[in-house]
């Protein structure tokens, strides 16, 4: 679909075949980002990896970013940081158990992510801890051992739950906008340079042509399926594809799986009293990334330590 927004041409892609054409076959024509004033304000004059135009500077930045922070070896080396911060989160949540107070999971998980990213990127934490030193180190060792056994076990079901969540509630519903660099043809249509492109992975992820009962949360659909999120299955693109694919897939997934596995292992979760499952408001909020509009409040009822 081509939209004319004043002088701006915007191509919206909502099928897996055309997504493959844009993000793979003709990736080299579409791998730059539009230069928008709002993005410049948000991102140090578009000097960052995600919004920089496709050029030598971006290539070098991305290479350094991947090499220094995101390669499997580097991600593995940050295991102790993840374990410490997950231990902090579990400790903080455990305090709500005895009082049967509800926990705002969005707040807990955002705070966990901020702490992990700060420590990985800047080498230090900006938030205090509530443990005494000896107890903390004992607690972290438990988590490191647990993280090891988690990856060794068949955390298979958890992984397909995460996949199904990324299909239905994909973090970047329109990916990050791209821009056409050279005159080219897509599906027989002429596309001119400067045309903006948005790939609607939200719609593709819910298209009944590719998914049975697309609106149903059914992790088992990934059971025995070869579909993964590495950017080669164009009906499922939670991390995008092509040259601008998310470089932090491994780190992002490991983080989500470890946090979720521990939340489920350490606690039983109940809804606040008087609330039924149907009362959970699943409306999505607006913003740079997709999130639940109202926070998920749950009561942790058992502390498994
Ligand atoms: C589960 C977690 C994550 C998801 C689902 C996700 C998803 C995405 C998506 C959809 C894109 C756009 C790809 C495109 O335009 O084709 C993207 C780009 C990007 N992501 Fe992620 N992301 C996640 C975690 C992270 C983390 C933790 C970091 C940093 C540490 C990160 C850094 C980036 C960067 C730098 C780009 C831009 C790449 C480029 O333009 O060259 N992401 N991500």
Summarised one tens digit per residue, pLDDT across range 161-181 is: 999 999 999 999 999 999 999
Strand partners, 13: 199
Other Cβ atoms within 10 Å of 84 Cβ, number: 22
Q: Is the CB of 66 under 6 A from ligand 1?
A: no
Q: Are 106 and 256 in contact (CB under 8 A)?
A: no
| 39: confidence class by pLDDT, cuts 50, 70, 90 | confident
Mean pLDDT, residues 118-138 taken together: 67
Is the pLDDT at 130 greater than 70? The verdict is no
* Higher pLDDT, residue 303 or 291: 291
Which residue's CA is minimally distant from atom 26 of ligand 1?
Answer: 248
Nearest to residue 243, comparing CAs of 14, 22, 12? 22
Q: Are 127 and 108 in contact (CB under 8 A)?
A: no
| 186: confidence class by pLDDT, cuts 50, 70, 90 | very high
Mean pLDDT, residues 218-233 taken together: 96
DSSP string across 25-69 = ITHHHH-B----HHHHHHTTTTTSTTTS-SSHHHHHHHHHHIIII
Mean pLDDT, residues 6-23 taken together: 97
Q: Is the CB of 50 under 6 A from ligand 1?
A: yes
Name every residue whose Cβ is closer than 8 Å to that of residue 225 and which is 6 or more positions away in sequence. Answer: none
Q: Are 136 and 242 in contact (CB under 8 A)?
A: no
Q: Is the CB of 233 under 6 A from ligand 1?
A: no
CA distance 180 to 191: 8
Bridging pattern class, strands 291-292 and 196-199:
unpaired
Give start and end residues of each alpha helix (H) in 78-132: 79-99, 105-122
CA distance 205 to 14: 9
CA distance 17 to 38: 31
Which residue's CA is minimally distant from atom 31 of ligand 1?
Answer: 248
Which residue's CA is minimally distant from atom 42 of ligand 1?
Answer: 248
Mean pLDDT, residues 180-189 taken together: 96
Which residue's CA is minimally distant from atom 29 of ligand 1?
Answer: 248
Q: How high is the pLDDT of residue 83?
A: 94
Ligand 1 centroid–CA 114 distance in Å is 16
Q: Is the CB of 248 under 6 A from ligand 1?
A: yes
Ligand 1 centroid–CA 229 distance in Å is 12
Rounded to 10 degrees, what is the CA torsion of 244, 214, 287, 35? 30
* Higher pLDDT, residue 208 or 153: 208
Ligand 1 centroid–CA 69 distance in Å is 13
Mean pLDDT, residues 235-261 taken together: 96
Best mutation site among 248, 259, 289 for ligand 1 pocket (most ligand atoms within 8 Å of CB):
248
Q: What percent of the chain has pLDDT over 90?
A: 76
Mean pLDDT, residues 61-82 taken together: 93
Atom of ligand 1 nearest to the CA of 121: 30
Q: How high is the pLDDT of residue 99?
A: 84
Ligand 1 centroid–CA 299 distance in Å is 31
Q: How high is the pLDDT of residue 139?
A: 61
What region, left, alpha or beta, does residue 11 occupy, with left being phi > 0 and alpha being psi -120 to 50 degrees? beta
CA distance 113 to 157: 23
Mean pLDDT, residues 1-28 taken together: 97
Mean pLDDT, residues 16-32 taken together: 98
Q: Is 266 annotated as a binding residue?
A: no
Q: Is the CB of 62 under 6 A from ligand 1?
A: yes
Q: How high is the pLDDT of residue 256?
A: 95
Read off the pLDDT of residues 95-122 as tens digits, 9 standing for 90 and up.
888 888 899 999 999 999 999 999 998 8
Q: Find tokens 């350490």 and name the residue.
A: 266
Read off the pLDDT of residues 254-297 as tens digits, 9 standing for 90 and up.
999 999 999 999 999 999 999 999 999 999 998 778 999 999 99
| 142: confidence class by pLDDT, cuts 50, 70, 90 | low
Name every residue whose Cβ is closer than 8 Å to that of residue 281 and which is 6 or more positions away in sequence. Answer: 292, 293, 294
Mean pLDDT, residues 37-51 taken together: 86
Which residue's CA is minimally distant from atom 35 of ligand 1?
Answer: 50
Q: Are 32 and 59 in contact (CB under 8 A)?
A: no
């Amino acid at each position: 679909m081509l939209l004319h927004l004043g002088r701006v041409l915007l191509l919206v892609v909502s099928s897996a075949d055309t997504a493959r054409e844009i993000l793979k076959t003709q990736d080299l024509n579409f791998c730059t980002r539009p230069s928008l004033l709002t993005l410049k304000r948000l991102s140090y004059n578009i000097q960052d990896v995600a919004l920089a135009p496709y050029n030598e500077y971006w290539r070098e930045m991305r290479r350094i970013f991947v090499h220094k922070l995101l390669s499997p070896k580097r991600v593995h080396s940050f295991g102790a940081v993840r374990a410490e911060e997950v231990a902090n989160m579990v400790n903080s949540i455990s305090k709500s158990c005895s009082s049967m107070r509800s926990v705002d999971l969005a707040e807990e998980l955002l705070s966990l992510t901020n702490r992990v990213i700060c420590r990985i990127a800047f080498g230090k934490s900006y938030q205090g801890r509530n443990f005494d030193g000896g107890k903390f180190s004992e607690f972290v060792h438990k988590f490191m051992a647990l993280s090891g056994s988690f990856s060794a076990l068949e955390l298979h079901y958890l992984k397909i739950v995460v996949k199904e969540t990324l299909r239905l509630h994909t973090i970047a519903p329109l990916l990050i906008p791209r821009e056409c660099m050279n005159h080219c043809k897509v599906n027989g249509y002429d596309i001119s340079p400067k045309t903006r492109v948005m790939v609607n992975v939200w719609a593709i992820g819910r298209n009944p042509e590719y998914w049975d009962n697309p609106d149903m949360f059914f992790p088992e659909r990934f059971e025995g399926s070869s579909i993964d999120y590495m950017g080669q299955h164009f009906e499922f693109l939670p991390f995008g594809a092509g040259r601008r694919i998310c470089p932090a897939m491994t780190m992002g997934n490991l983080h989500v799986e470890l946090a979720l596995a521990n939340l489920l292992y350490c606690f039983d979760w109940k809804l606040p009293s008087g609330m039924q499952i149907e009362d959970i408001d699943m409306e999505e909020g607006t913003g740079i990334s997709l999130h639940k509009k109202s926070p998920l409040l749950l009561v942790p009822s058992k502390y498994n330590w």
